[in-house]
Amino acid sequence: MNEGRGPMVLILGGTTEGYALAAALAQRAGLRVVNSLAGRTSNPRLPTGETRIGGFGGVEGLRDYLRGERPLAVIDATHPFAATMGTHAALACSACDIPLLRLQRPVWVPGPGDRWRGVGDWDQAVSALADLGARRVLLALGRQDLAPFTALPDPWFLVRCVTPPDPSPHFAHWELLLERGPFDLAAERALLGERRIDCIVCKNSGGTAGAAKLAAARELGIEVIMRERPTRPPTATAPDLAGALAWLDEVMNGQHGDAEEAE
Ligand SMILES: NC(=O)c1ccc[n+]([C@@H]2O[C@H](COP(=O)([O-])OP(=O)(O)OC[C@H]3O[C@@H](n4cnc5c(N)ncnc54)[C@H](OP(=O)(O)O)[C@@H]3O)[C@@H](O)[C@H]2O)c1
């Protein structure tokens, strides 16, 4: 385990990938690993290594932090939908000339049998639900994403979140399911069947923890309204832990150049 001395690597986390990266880097001697969490949850699971919690204060705040701490590298392992943090990281790292990697799981792509509709924002998702005449809808979303759907008076919503929404949203008909992934296929199939779900709304988060609902939807012929990912500034990108570790090795060996850029 590293002892907190040596050059610093800053991980912008709050994701499975962030925790895995922190655990992997803890095995490297002579590296100081600092994890940054937004502080959205009151009792977060703490990653391996040092942790700082809370926003930096915009691009300027992050720039000041980077100038003070001078990390060797920053790895942005935030969620694909945490685009504000990703944009701030790109701007601040560029201003401070600090190498930045985006660790980002690949997008989910539809396969044969999938019935997906891509949407760019929640208003489009609300219109798509109305168009489809959906009656019983699973909202597999964050609690901060629910409000636009309360405009629809007819469907019954099954809202699945990790943390209770506060304030409680004003749905006409709904049920709240407080659950954290990963979810398995048998459980997802059973949930969709028992609640007679005819449409799912979710984000294209990618990864395995939330993928089973899509496989179950395919089996049952259920429509999926899929919110596409927000864009971020182009940055060197790795799709997985191995890629991030290889990139960091290059940075540490002074071989870092302009790596592949994200789409
Ligand atoms: N969005 C999702 O669907 C989702 C899902 C799972 C986990 N998460 C995790 O939850 C956190 C917040 O997500 P979000 O969508 O609210 O982010 P966001 O919209 O991109 O960021 C909003 C603000 O939160 C602060 N922030 C975000 N991530 C941070 C981090 N890792 N460390 C320090 N400050 C951070 C920054 O504040 P300042 O401007 O003050 O620096 C940022 O400007 C992220 O760590 C993300 O990985 C998000």
Q: Is the CB of 81 under 6 A from ligand 1?
A: yes
Asked if 143 and 163 count as a contact pair (C-beta separation under 8 A), the reply is yes
Which run of H or E residues covers position 154? none
| Structure tokens given for 146 | 């629910």
Tens digit of each residue's pLDDT, the chain (263 residues): 454 568 999 999 999 999 999 999 999 989 999 999 999 877 788 999 999 999 999 999 999 999 999 999 999 999 999 999 999 999 999 999 999 999 999 999 999 999 999 999 999 999 999 999 999 999 999 999 999 999 999 999 999 998 899 999 999 999 999 998 899 999 999 999 999 999 999 999 999 999 999 999 999 999 999 999 999 999 999 999 999 999 999 999 986 654 444 43
Q: Which residues pair with 224 in a beta bridge?
A: 116, 200
Q: Which two tokens stand for residue 107?
A: 């997008």
Nearest CA, atom 43, ligand 1: 85
Q: 159 pairs with which residues across the strands?
A: 139, 176
Pocket test for ligand 1, best of 85, 88, 163, 204 (most atoms within 8 A of CB): 85
Q: What are phi and psi of 131, to 5 degrees?
A: -55, -45
- CA of residue 222 to ligand 1 center, whole Å: 31
pTM (predicted TM-score): 0.91
Contact 136, 194 (CB under 8 A): no
Establish whether domains 8-106+230-252 and 116-227 are of one fold: yes
- Tokens 């937004």, located at residue: 38
Q: How far is the CA of 180 from the centre of ligand 1 (A)?
A: 18
Region class of 55: left (phi > 0), else alpha (psi between -120 and 50), else beta = beta
Quote the tokens at residue 97.
């000339």
Q: How much helix, strand and coil, in percent to the nearest 5, is found in the chain?
A: 35, 20, 45
Q: Which residues contact 250 (CB under 8 A, 6 or more apart)?
A: 256, 259
HSE of 256 in the Cβ direction (CA atoms, 13 Å)? 21
Q: Domains of the chain: which residue ranges? A: 8-106+230-252, 116-227
CA distance 96 to 72: 11
CATH assignment, 8-106+230-252: 3.40.50.720
Residue 38 C-alpha to ligand 1 middle, in angstroms? Answer: 5
Q: Is the CB of 235 under 6 A from ligand 1?
A: no
Q: Is 37 helix (H, G, I), strand (E, B) or coil?
A: strand
Nearest-CA neighbor of 169 among 152, 147, 154?
147
Alpha-carbon span 182 to 184, nearest angstrom: 7
Beta carbon of 63 within 6 Å of any ligand 1 atom: no
CATH of domain 116-227: 3.40.50
Cβ of 137 closer than 6 Å to ligand 1, yes or no, is no
Residue 55 Cβ contacting ligand 1 at under 6 Å: yes
Output the CA 90–ligand 1 centroid distance in Å: 14
